[in-house]
């Protein structure tokens, strides 16, 4: 069983090589466990401590094109939200995929968040905090109205860095400062990111840390390996036409150092919309086509720190729409889900689209691939 904590499930596509793959990737977008639990409680339909009962089953098997559907029956040990019955079936609509809850054995105990679907059934969703009961301390404390512990208030990145390298508890460096927006607006959804740099000081695509700032804009990133980095920040509270981005620049950290007053001012960056129309594909392929819009500079050393890369399905007019897109040049890929990526049955010429205003659009002409 794969248990994921927070909160984003994405379809990842591998570009440049014209290959594609499905994967479940979950990313923290929270300051700490206490904040994450509070959000999960607010969003969930039912919350309870439960024990897996016999009687779960596969309802539909996964196919080449779609994940399966399975049901897991829980005995409710202690309910916190939603007034579930003594036993309750929960459904997994991603059965057989990387985002599946898995096949727990009868007798296993979990802290469970269930979400109501359009069919009124209660579902176990990917990238939530549903997890074994013995790992759910922050959830149990919040649910029972107990005070948060230091563990509950620790940024998740700190725990991971210490887990990977316990010596950082004594030799790790600390960076702290304040993030402000140029318009003096709220900064409660701002994240600071500390990127690795190469020997010439150019930003690499890997990062040493990313952490949500405090409500007052202050941040304190601890347990960083000594080295050279670049520090940037982004407000994830996008508006239709603008996002706020800032960059401090390169920093050097020595063993045990505390670097103070690393302050960043976030300035507005324009956003727009991109529409991709796909033509020449048979109608029966419509629901399997996936369009990927990807910043052309995403893999470049020293490129923009927050490049845009998103996937979208086609609407009834065979158009994939992308919102909140920063101005720039983008590669466009159209993929057919559920087929052997090394032998695509449909392909297209290289397509790029430039966004310099509120809206840009282009057309992708699919053609049958000669596999012989």
- In a 3-state reduction of DSSP, which class is residue 159? helix
Who's near 220: CB < 8 A, 6+ residues apart? Answer: 174, 175, 176
Who's near 232: CB < 8 A, 6+ residues apart? Answer: 192, 193, 195, 245, 246, 247, 248, 264, 305, 306
- Indicate whether 2 pLDDT > 80: no
Pairing of strands 351-355, 319-326: unpaired
What Cα–Cα distance (Å) separates residue 159 from each residue in 3, 162, 238?
A: 17, 5, 29
- Indicate whether 371 pLDDT > 80: no
The closest of 234, 168, 163 to 195, measured between CA atoms, is 234
pLDDT digits (tens, 9 = 90+) for 303-331: 889 999 999 999 999 999 999 999 999 99
What mean pLDDT is predicted for residues 183-212? Answer: 94
Does residue 239 come out as left (phi exceeding 0), alpha (psi in the -120 to 50 range) or beta?
A: beta
**What's the rounded Cα separation, in Å, for the pair 126 and 10?**
10
pLDDT of residue 64: 67
> Phi and psi for 156 in degrees, rounded to 5?
-60, -35
Who's near 360: CB < 8 A, 6+ residues apart? Answer: 272, 273, 274, 275, 353, 354
Q: All domains of the chain, ordered by start, with CATH?
A: 27-143 (2.40.50.120), 171-262 (2.60.40.2190), 272-368 (2.60.40.10)
Strand partners, 174: 258
pLDDT digits (tens, 9 = 90+) for 73-97: 999 999 999 988 999 999 999 988 8
What mean pLDDT is predicted for residues 253-267? Answer: 97
Residue 106: count of CB within 10 angstroms of its CB? 13
Contact 69, 92 (CB under 8 A): yes
pTM of the model: 0.75
pLDDT of residue 99: 84
- The number of C-alpha atoms within 13 Å of 306 and in the hemisphere containing its C-beta is 23
pLDDT digits (tens, 9 = 90+) for 275-287: 999 998 888 889 9
- In a 3-state reduction of DSSP, which class is residue 156? helix
pLDDT digits (tens, 9 = 90+) for 12-56: 333 333 333 344 656 656 778 999 999 999 999 999 999 999 999
pLDDT of residue 15: 35
pLDDT of residue 58: 87
What mean pLDDT is predicted for residues 1-13? Answer: 33
Contact 172, 161 (CB under 8 A): yes
The closest of 181, 187, 131, 191 to 157, measured between CA atoms, is 191
- In a 3-state reduction of DSSP, which class is residue 163? helix
**What's the rounded Cα separation, in Å, for the pair 312 and 200?**
36
């Amino acid at each position: 069983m794969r248990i994921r904590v927070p909160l984003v499930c994405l379809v990842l596509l591998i570009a440049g090589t014209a290959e594609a793959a499905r994967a479940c990737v979950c990313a923290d977008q929270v300051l700490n466990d206490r904040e994450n639990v509070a959000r999960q409680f607010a969003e969930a339909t039912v919350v309870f401590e439960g024990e897996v009962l016999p009687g779960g089953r596969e309802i539909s098997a996964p196919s080449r094109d779609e994940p399966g559907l399975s049901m897991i029956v829980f005995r409710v040990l202690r309910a916190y939200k939603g007034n579930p019955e003594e036993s309750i079936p929960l459904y997994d609509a991603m059965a057989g995929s990387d985002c599946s809850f898995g096949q727990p054995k009868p007798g296993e105990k979990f802290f469970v968040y269930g979400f109501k679907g359009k069919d009124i059934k209660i579902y176990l969703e990917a990238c939530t905090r549903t997890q074994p009961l013995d790992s759910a301390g922050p959830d149990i404390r919040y649910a029972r109205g107990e005070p948060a512990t230091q563990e509950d208030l620790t940024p998740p990145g700190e725990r991971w860095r210490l887990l990977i390298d316990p010596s950082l508890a004594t030799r790790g460096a600390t960076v702290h400062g304040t993030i402000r927006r140029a318009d003096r607006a709220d900064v409660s959804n701002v994240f600071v990111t500390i990127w690795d740099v190469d020997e010439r000081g150019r930003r690499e695509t890997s990062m040493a840390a990313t952490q949500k700032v405090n409500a007052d804009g202050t941040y304190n990133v601890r347990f960083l390996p000594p080295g050279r980095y670049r520090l940037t920040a982004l407000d994830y509270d996008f508006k239709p036409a603008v996002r706020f981005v800032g960059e401090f620049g390169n920093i050097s950290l020595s063993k045990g150092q505390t670097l103070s007053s690393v302050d960043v001012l976030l300035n507005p960056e324009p956003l727009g919309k991109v529409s991709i129309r796909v033509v020449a594909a048979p109608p029966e392929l419509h629901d399997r086509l996936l369009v990927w819009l990807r910043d052309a500079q995403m893999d470049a050393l020293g490129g923009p720190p927050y490049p845009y890369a998103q996937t979208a399905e086609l609407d009834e007019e065979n158009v994939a729409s992308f919102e909140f897109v920063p101005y720039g040049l983008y590669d466009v890929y159209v993929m057919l889900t559920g087929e052997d990526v090394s032998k695509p049955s449909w392909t297209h010429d290289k397509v790029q689209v430039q966004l310099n205003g509120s809206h840009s659009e282009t057309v992708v002409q699919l053609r049958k691939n000669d596999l012989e």
